[in-house]
Amino acid sequence: MAFLKGQIRKALSGFYYIYAEGATFQTRARGNFRNRKITPLVGDEVMFESDNPTDGYLLEVFPRHNELVRPPVANVDQGVVVMSMVEPNFSYNLLDRFLVTLEDKEIAPIIYLTKVDLLTGTEAVSVAEVKKVYGEIGYPVIAATKANDEEAVRALEQYFPERLTVFMGQSGAGKSTLLNKISPDLQLATDEISESLGRGKHTTRHVELLPLYDGLVADTPGFSSIDFLEMETTELPKQFPEFVEASVSCKFRECMHRKEPGCEVKSRVEAGTIAQTRYDNYLQFLLEIENRRPIYKKK
């Protein structure tokens, strides 16, 4: 039996499809994973043994850099957050939830705005405003209109090489449609907004990593709403890059940027160099974490 190192690219019905040395091997996991409470995930770097491409055994999962639950993928480098400008309307609150979650997992966010061509100019939020708020923090913001869809997709594809990318975002913002544009052979079931619910139907299957533009892309869009289930209050300020930068000048080292005197974050909000929307959302998320029912982890 040859021992090989590879990466799980697909998991389906108890089989793990591992890419190694230019080929894909079908493997099963050895029984001891269950006892060790390890579930191998797509994206995991692994050690396996195999004599032939259809009959191998997964032996070891190497330590992960991070993992997501929806979609279940490990070692993610970047997340494309797909947000619609209208139908559904753009939400700073939802976007900041995605960004905080990605920051917490050390995943680099890319913001992709859809349905820009449907804006009439009477909406509460403009593309220029979104670009200003998030561009200043350092997040890439790509805006797609029907007219320049191709251009936007090209701009996005430049981020793919050498990285593992997942897609997520608002229900009905067009995640599946965008994935189909990037890779036409995906044929994803596009999630039409079910009018009655105002939410996208779940059309998600198993996850597979597809080699695209010299990188890997998860073929399944991820979560469309977020609760901060695992985050502690003290962790939250660290997920806002502009707060981290400002907090060096806060009077107190563990400043929570709420009631403390001499808080640099608050004075930057007042000066307009930190967006009021970001600060308001931060305070709301902080309350959510504080009011969360304690979760008793089974020993």
Query: What pLDDT was estimated at residue 196?
Result: 38
Find tokens 């997964």 and name the residue: 58
pLDDT on residue 202: 46
Label residue 188 by pLDDT band (50, 70, 90).
low
- Short-list 70, 111, 113, CA closest to 88: 113
Is 55 labelled as part of a ligand binding site?
no
Both structure tokens of 197: 């619910």
The secondary element (H helix, E strand) that includes residue 242 is helix 241-247
Q: Which of 74-88, 117-131, 248-262 has the lowest mean pLDDT?
A: 117-131
pTM of the model: 0.88
Domains of the chain in sequence order = 2-63 (2.40.50.140), 68-218 (3.40.50.300), 233-291 (1.10.40.50)
Is 272 annotated in a binding site? The answer is no
The identity of residue 149, as a single letter, is: D
Q: Give me the mean pLDDT over the 207-212 stretch.
A: 90
Measuring CA to CA, how many Å separate 137 from each of 126, 143, 189? 17, 17, 34
Does 138 count as an annotated binding residue? no
Closest by CA to 20, choosing from 60, 57, 53, 61, is 53
The answer to whether 116 is a known ligand-binding residue is: yes
- Residue 28: CB atoms within 10 A of its CB come to 13
- Of 93-97, 113-117, 197-201, 245-249, give the lowest mean pLDDT range: 197-201
Q: Is 175 annotated as a binding residue?
A: yes
**117 has binding-site annotation:** yes
Q: What six digits make up the tokens of 69?
A: 């639950």
pLDDT, one tens digit per residue, over 129-152 is 999 999 999 999 999 987 778 899
User: Do the annotations mark residue 170 as ligand-binding?
Assistant: yes
Whether 172 has a binding-site annotation, put simply, is yes
Q: Which residues of 255-265 are buried (b: 16+ CB within 10 A; e: fewer)?
A: bbbeeeeebbb
The reply, when asked if residue 262 is annotated as ligand binding, is no
**Closest to 124 measured CA to CA, from 98, 96, 92, 100:** 92
**115 annotated to a ligand binding site:** yes
pLDDT in tens, 258-283: 999 999 999 999 999 999 999 999 99
Mean pLDDT of 196-205: 45
Could you say which DSSP state residue 117 is in? G
Question: Is 169 part of any known ligand binding site?
Answer: yes
With contact defined as beta carbons under 8 Å apart, do 163 and 150 qualify?
no
